[in-house]
Amino acid sequence: MTRTDGGAGESPPAALRTEALEQLLTERGLIDPKALDGVITTYETNVGPLNGAKVVARAWTDPEYRRRLLEDGTAAIKELGFSGAQGEHIVVVENTATTHNVVVCTLCSCYPWPVLGLPPSWYKDPAYRARVVKEPRTVLSEMGLELDHDVRITVHDSTSEVRWFVLPERPAGTGHLSEEQLVPLVTRDAMVGVAKVVAP
Please, what is the minimum distance in Å from the beta carbon of residue 173 to another protein?
22
Q: Name the residue among 149, 77, 143, 62 with its Cα closest to residue 114.
A: 77
Instruction: Specify whether the CB–CB gap between 122 and 195 falls below 8 A.
Output: no
Among 168, 189, 193, 197, which residue interacts with another protein (rule: CB under 8 A)?
189
121 is catalytic: no
Residues 11, 108, 141, 178: which is the catalytic one?
108
Per DSSP bridges, beta strands 152-157 and 162-167 are: unpaired
Residue window 121-160: x/- pattern of binding to another protein, with contact defined by CB under 8 A: xx-xxxxxxxxxxxxxxxx--xxx-------xxxxxxxxx
Stretch that binds another protein, among 27-35, 52-60, 61-69, 167-175 (CB under 8 A): 27-35
Work out how close the CB of 108 gets to another protein at its nearest, in angstroms, rounded to a whole number: 6
Q: Which 72-131 positions form the footprint of another protein (CB under 8 A)? A: 88-89, 91, 106-109, 117-118, 120-122, 124-131
